[in-house]
Amino acid sequence: MSPSSLRHRLSGLAAATLLVATPAFADWSADATTKITPASGQKAPPEVTGKVYGRKGLLRMDTHTTGQPGAVQMSIIFDFEKRTGTTLMHAQKIASERNLDDLPVKLPGSCTGKMQDFDACFLEQGYKKTGTEKVNGHPTTVYEGTPPGMDGKPMRQKVWRPTDLSDVPYVRAQTFGAGGQVTEINLNNVQQGPQPDSRFTVPADYRKMAAPPAGAVPGGFTAEDFQGKSPEQIQEMIRQRMGQGAPKGGGKKP
């Protein structure tokens, strides 16, 4: 796998993740599965499973990679009033915060704080209605658009917006990469009901670290780190790096 291929794969996942990070209007939760269909001739990475929790102005995503020994468990907490996204690495007890306005991905930036429904928000972002379909047990309106990806370039996305769940932005979303790969997020078992405050706060014993620059490969890697390595070697390198905890000198006590 080339550094460019990995970067585009991460970009697709990040764009799809931020698409689900749209301000919710009431508490809810759902099971989430993310899978990547690679370009022809490439090996598909493991599926990522987890949970999504929504509250007005807040959203949390918990994820882990299936079938991988020592897989990294992490969460991302979005606070749309403060305009922050905080990544929690649970094994290392590390919290890394970044300003959402510094990211090239603007969705859902212009809709944040507006008491409008998601359909109006999608249309404002330039999405167009392209049909209707029943997906993951829910009737949906299908939207398609080309918001910017993590590299600032347009990425085609397709969204299945549930018409029977006013507080849930979608039950399926696909992001199409320039190289032919497709990142798909599915939400199942959607439950509406109160969520504890602790889901949306950073634990007191987590060490705070500065976030990497926008568009950088997570984990402090450089493009040269991936040169000449197989997908299996890259996965092992990431697992070992994450297992070592924070880079020296990179953190400070909360």
- Model pLDDT for residues 161-198, shown as the tens digit of each residue: 999 988 888 899 998 887 788 889 999 999 989 999 99
Which residue type sits at 172?
R
Q: Where are the domains of the chain?
A: 3-113+179-252
pLDDT at 213: 58
Kindly report the number of other CB atoms within 10 A of residue 131's CB atom: 10
The arithmetic mean of pLDDT across residues 43-67, rounded, is 82
Whether 1 and 33 have beta carbons less than 8 Å apart is answered as no
pLDDT at 6: 39
Architecture of domain 3-113+179-252: Clam (2.50)
Burial class of residue 170 (count of CB atoms within 10 Å of its CB; 0-12, 13-18, 19+): buried
The CA-atom distances, in angstroms, between 177 and each of 40, 79, 123, 192, 239 are 13, 27, 22, 32, 25
Contacts of 4 (CB under 8 A, 6+ apart): none
pLDDT at 129 exceeding the cut of 60: yes
Q: What is the pLDDT of residues 211-230, one digit of tens each?
A: 665 545 444 445 455 555 55
Stretch among 126-130, 193-197, 208-212 having the lowest mean pLDDT: 208-212
